[in-house]
Amino acid sequence: MELRHLRYFVAVAEELHFGRAAERLGIAQPPLSRQIQDLEGELGFKLFDRTRRRIELTAAGDVLLKRTRDVLERLEDAVRDARSTSTGKRGRVTVGYPSSLAYTGLVGLLRAFRTEFPDVELAVRELPLAEQLVGLTNGELDVGFLRGPLDGEALVTECMRREPLMLALPADHPLARHKRLTLAAVAREPFVFFPRVRAPAFFDLLLSLCQKAGFTPQIRHEAPQADVLSLVAAGFGISIMPASVREIRRTDVAFRPFAGAPLTELLLAWRVGEGSPSRQAFIDVVRRVGLRLDSVL
């Protein structure tokens, strides 16, 4: 049995006239008769009573007609849905992001995406860089925002934002009086960093900065990214962070530029090769909308 048989059957059942049904289907009457006969033969029961001049549906034919209409309709829906999915109008995107992005652009971006693709399910997960790399590689994440540099992963990256690193220190710290600082000036201060495993390349970048300034930082405390700021505010030490973290606007932490502060890149990354259309749609929106700082807090 093929869809052809079903389509023909529905046409004949609706017209109750082989000639008109054939015309509607754009074929001649004899082949239509034969296809219906073939269908009846395969099914093993009659669909039409051909007694008298007019044909009419048998009880079985009537049942099959109703059900077949439903089946054909569902099939059309299925194709429509699949097509929507193929153009990214439907689907699911899983996005990873570092904690620093929560207040500095992510919300506006997600809002823009949802406006344009309301039927795409969005799953956002705050993850440290290392876990994002794992997720992107094994397919758990479709895209990730992460801070460079990356050392040779099989990922496509696009730079979304370029910003200098800044020194973060308690607002009441003596050095906070200076508008600008040098790394050498804070060589003897205790530092608060995130655990190296969370983002080794970025961690090593910070270390090498200190090395170049002629010292090795005393790392007194480690904390998940989001909590580093609180530890700094509480006076446990100072830290080095991307400039956008200022946007959180904590009054108990002072951000100060320092000499030789490198630019870091916030990257949008995804696995090479074909991805879901929804992923592509998300990437397109990010490219178009960018990471405008959210006007919150």
Beta bridge partners of 241: 166
Q: Specify the stretch interacting with its own copies by CB under 8 A; choose among 71-79, 122-130, 216-224, 253-261.
A: 71-79
Which CB atom, from 239 or from 276, has the smaller least distance to its own copies?
A: 276
91 binds, among its own copies, DNA, none (CB under 5 to 8 A by kind): its own copies
State how far Cα 122 lies from the chain centre: 6
111 lies in the binding site for its own copies (CB under 8 A)? no
**Sole binder of its own copies in the list 28, 78, 197, 259 (CB under 8 A):** 78
Q: Six-digit token pair at 235? A: 């006076």
Give the span between the Cα atoms of 44 and 273, in whole angstroms: 50
Please work out, in degrees rounded to the nearest 5, the angle formed at the alpha carbon of residue 166 by the alpha carbons of 149 and 291. Answer: 60
Alpha carbons 71 and 168: distance in angstroms, whole number: 64
Q: Kindly state the DSSP code that residue 181 receives in the 8-state scheme.
A: B
Q: Which is nearer to DNA, 26 or 152 (by Cβ)?
A: 26
| Choice between 37 and 216, CB closer to DNA | 37
- Decide: is 157 part of the binding site for DNA (CB under 7 A): no
Q: How far is CA 84 from the centre of its chain?
A: 16
The least distance separating its own copies from the CB of residue 17, rounded to whole angstroms, comes to 18
The DSSP annotation for 133-144 comes to HHHHHHTS-SEE
By CB under 7 A, residue 38 contacts DNA: yes
C-alpha span between 52 and 199 (Å, rounded)? 83
61 binds, among DNA, its own copies, none (CB under 5 to 8 A by kind): its own copies
Q: Smallest gap, in angstroms, from Cβ of residue 52 to DNA? A: 4
Binding region for its own copies (CB under 8 A) out of 72-80, 167-175, 199-207, 211-219: 72-80
- The C-alpha atoms of residue 137 and residue 121 are separated, in whole angstroms, by 21
Longest dimension (CA), the chain: 106
* Closest separation in Å from C-beta 51 to its own copies: 5
Q: Specify the DSSP class assigned to residue 293.
A: P
Of the pair 53, 177, the CB lying nearest DNA is at: 53
Measured from the CB of residue 44, what is the shortest distance to its own copies in angstroms? 7
Residues 4-33 that bind DNA (CB under 7 A): 4, 16-19, 26-31, 33
Closest to its own copies by CB, 120 or 241: 120
Q: Cβ 142 to its own copies, closest distance in Å?
A: 10
Sorted by sequence, the CB contacts under 8 Å of residue 208 that are 6+ apart come out as none
Q: Any bridge partners for residue 97, and if so which?
A: 126
d(CA 59, CA 224): 70
Told to check if 218 binds its own copies by CB under 8 A, we report: no
Query: Is 269 within 8 Å of 156 (Cβ atoms)?
Result: yes
Residue 126 sits at the vertex; the CA angle it makes with 122 and 128, to the nearest 5 degrees, is 135
Q: Among residues 16 and 63, whose Cβ is nearest to DNA? A: 16
Residue with tokens 């998300």: 282
Minimum distance of its own copies from residue 63's CB (angstroms): 5
Binding site for DNA (CB under 7 A): 2, 4, 16-19, 26-31, 33-38, 50, 52-55
Binding site for its own copies (CB under 8 A): 1-4, 6, 43-46, 49, 51-52, 58-64, 67-68, 70-71, 74-75, 77-79, 81-83, 85-87, 90-91, 273-274, 276-278
